[in-house]
Structure 1
Amino acid sequence: MIVLSNLNVAACLKMADAIEVVETAMKAVSAGQANLPLRSLVNVGGDNRMGVMPGALLPGVAGQPACFGIKLLSLFPQNPDAGYSSHEGAYVLFEGEHGTAIAMMNAGLMTAIRTAAASAVATRALARPDARVLTIIGAGEQAEHHLEAMMCVRDISRVRVVGRRIRNRDAFIARARARYGEVAIEPADDVRTAVAGADIVCTVTSSPEPVLKGGWIDPGTHLNVAGASVPSSREVDEDMVARATLFVDYRASTFAQAGEVIAALESGRIARDHVRAEIGEVLAGAHGGRGADDEITLYRSLGVAAQDLAAAWYCMERARERGLGVTATL
């Protein structure tokens, strides 16, 4: 078994590569080449939970043999206040021929990268080609990775950032300006102002209540709703869900765990067929994506085990090539 630290994952899983890895995985999901039990959550005290995400990639996925694995992830919403990631955990990867555990790696950074990469895959497929103005709602770890991911797939010239913690928001903006000096990156005091005129909006908060309302979004905008991963949390309201053309990563998890979609279904604002397609179906050409320049597209991302599996396999292979990690015998 090879054991990879957070630094090893950072060295092996670059955003541009992660986007291609996740795109291949999402095609596999919609082609029925993955076995994806729903994520289970265990309350471990207060608002803290442990998430368990098992899954398998079956024979036929391009560039990779069959494999399976499991992610064990702590979800601690208050961690950023103490200087820790809100997502801490480990991933264990098994090969498909004999069922041997062949790798274990830090799952926090891998989750953050693959989540932003999934938003980039959806943005590349759904956002207008001329999209230039990006709004990020939230200023934590996911904001950092989403900014990088959006820069990989669109020629972003202006970024607005709104965050509940002003100190964190301003620190994020300072780091972003240092890295992307040619891009205008500015703070916004409220969400409604921040999204006015935006071409792409990414919500990356842990808010239990909607922070974005449907009436605030301009025609032609693409949204990545990626922060909430439990049914009790909703980043956008029912109006936003009903007004947008809705794309998802995996229907089964959307209808069971996407809080804003569940609420819109229960209130009768939408029916299940309001989901236009899984993103893998769009990527494979089985369903159309954006239909018009003035259409609002919304990608509801929950994250699926296939993304973790593909990213973990990629990290393992790169680490072996470069001699990274620690080899251990179980």
Structure 2
Amino acid sequence: MRIITAQEVAATLTFPALIAALSSAFRGNFTVPVRHHHTLDRPTDNATLLLMPAWGAGRDGTPYVGTKMVTVFPENVARGEPSVYGNYFLLAGDSGAPLAVIDGPELTAWRTAAASALAAKSLAHEDASHLTMIGAGALAAKLVRAHASVRPIRRVTLWNRGRERAEQLAHALRDGDFAITIADDREAAVRDADIVSCATLTRTPLIEGAWLKPGAHVDLVGGFTPEMREADDETIRRAGIYVDTRAGATKEAGDIVQPLVSGLLKIEDIRGDLFDLSRGKASGRKNKDEITLFKSVGTAIEDLAAAILLWEQISVA
């Protein structure tokens, strides 16, 4: 069994290859049980344990089984530690033999960003050139790079509650083929953006629908419980809504669950998920001025597709 570090993940994966692998997986035949979601009682802020299994065959027909074990401790940020820890366990699908243990946060960041970019290929305007990134956590740099791999991004505006982390993110992105600005005015940053990506753990919306210009695409990534909310009701009201998976988003994503509960959004208002978009069963953006929204909560099919791609590239190297 091989241990694959975060450094090896980053050195091996590329967004064009990973986005293609995810698209292939969403068109394929994978089994993805409902993920186990357990709340861990804490004195200050509850933590979460996630178990995400899946199995299916790679593009050459080789079978695989995989599962990701993740912990989310929001209070870690105050101690200067990551809020998310985890590992991915990849097994041979024909024998159950362990193949690899893969750094979970790095694999998750890559596949999450790739899923947003896969959606953006159908939903963001083809000429989108200005990306505003809300949040400067572990996902932010990869989200920026992933979107830039599918759209002609020339300007990136960063906003974070703490400017220091935004400055660190700007430094990490300094080799990108785009100009970077750190914004203090979140509203102005959103109003001018062609794509607004948000990756935070907020429960109070940071994106207001009244700020969105015609043709904007909203990419909501951070919230993964019904209590978390990154965009307000007006955003939902104005946008064409898409999700990564209907089963996950309608049960776990506050940006979808809360409007469903209030009656603002109906199940049939969700135009499609990544299965539909990848298989051509749902149309994407209808016109240049339409506002679109993609809500991602993550799915084990993305983890397995990324792990298979990584394993196949490393094992033949």
Q: Unpaired runs of 5+ in structure 2?
A: none
The amino acid across from 1:120 in the alignment is A
Tell me, what secondary structure is at the counterpart of 2:305? helix
Quick one: structure 1 residues 79 and 24, their matched pair in 2 at CA, closer, same or farther if it must change by over 3 Å?
Answer: farther
Instruction: Quote how far apart the aligned CAs of 1:19 are.
Output: 1.7
Deviations 1:116-139 (A, max 9, x none): 111111111211111111110011
1:326 alignment partner in structure 2: none
What are the ranges of 5 or more consecutive residues in structure 1 without an aligned counterpart? 323-330
Give the 5 Å matches for 1:104-119. Answer: 104-119=101-116
Deviations 1:99-150 (A, max 9, x none): 2222211101110111111111111121111111111001111111111111
AA matched with 2:25: A
* Cα deviation, residue 214, structure 1: 1.3
What is the distance in 1 between the residues matched to 2:49 and 2:303? 13
Please give the residue correspondences for 1:182-261 in structure 2 after superposition, counting only pairs within 5 Å: 182-261=177-256
* Residue 25 of structure 1: how far off its partner (Å): 2.2
Pairing partner for 2:148 from 147, 151, 170: 151
> Counterparts of 2:78 and 2:19 in 1: how far apart (Å)?
29
The answer (yes or no) to whether the contact 1:125–1:283 under 8 Å persists in 2 is: no
Q: Greater CA deviation, 160-169 or 64-73?
A: 64-73
Match of 1:7 in 2: 7
Q: CA deviation at 1:17?
A: 2.2
TM-score (norm. length: structure 1): 0.90
Counting matched residue pairs gives 316
Partner of 1:290: 285
Counterpart of 1:137? 134
Retained in 2: the 8 A contact 1:73–1:107? yes
Task: Name the CA shift for 1:175/1:294 in 2 (closer, same or farther; >3 Å).
Answer: same
Q: Which residue in the other structure is 2:97 paired with?
A: 100
Q: Which residue of 1 aligns with 2:71?
A: 74
Does residue 41 of structure 2 align to residue 34 of structure 1? no
- The aligned residue for residue 53 of structure 2 is 55
Deviation at 1:288, TM superposition (A): 0.8
Give the Cα separation in 2 of the matches to 1:189 and 1:73: 33
Equivalent-residue separation in structure 2 for 1:19 and 1:47 (angstroms): 35
How far apart are residue 11 of structure 1 and its match?
2.1
Kept in 2: contact 1:48–1:75 (CA 8 A): no
RMSD: 1.8
1:217-243 residue CA offsets vs partner (Å, 9 max, x unmatched): 111111110011122211111221222
Q: What SS does the corresponding residue of 1:73 show, helix, strand or coil? A: strand
Equivalent AA in structure 1 for residue 102 of structure 2: M
- Alpha-carbon shift at residue 280 of structure 1 (Å): 2.2
Contact 2:87 2:102 in 1 (8 A): yes
What is the CA–CA distance in structure 1 between the aligned matches of 2:303 and 2:72, rounded to whole Å?
A: 16
User: What corresponds to 1:17 in structure 2?
Assistant: 17
**Other-structure match for 2:87:** 90
For 1:51 and 1:11, the matched residues in 2 are separated by 28
Could you tell me how far apart the structure 2 residues matched to 1:319 and 1:42 are?
35
Instruction: Classify 1:210/1:38 alpha carbon distance in 2 versus 1 (closer, same or farther; 3 Å).
Output: same
In the alignment, the residues of structure 2 paired with residue 188 and residue 274 of structure 1 have an alpha-carbon distance, to the nearest angstrom, of 33
By how many angstroms is 1:36 displaced? 3.0
Higher mean C-alpha deviation, range 256-265 or range 234-243: 234-243
* Contact 1:163-1:169 at 8 Å conserved across structures: yes
1:310 maps to 2:308: no
TM superposition shift of 1:83: 4.0
Give distance in 2, aligned partners of 1:271 and 1:255. Answer: 10
Structure 2 CA distance for partners of 1:139 and 1:261, relative to 1, 3 Å: same
Higher RCO, Cα 8 Å, sep 6+: 1
Select which of 116, 119, 136 maps to 1:122. Answer: 119
Q: Is the 8 A contact 1:206 1:228 kept in 2?
A: yes
**TM-score if structure 2 supplies the norm length?**
0.94
Aligned equivalents of 2:141 and 2:258: distance in 1?
A: 29
Aligned-pair identity (%) = 33
In 1, the alpha carbon distance for the partners of 2:11 and 2:178 equals: 25
Pick aligned residue for 1:179 from 154, 168, 175? 175
Q: Assess if the C-alpha contact under 8 Å between 1:26 and 1:249 holds in 2.
A: no
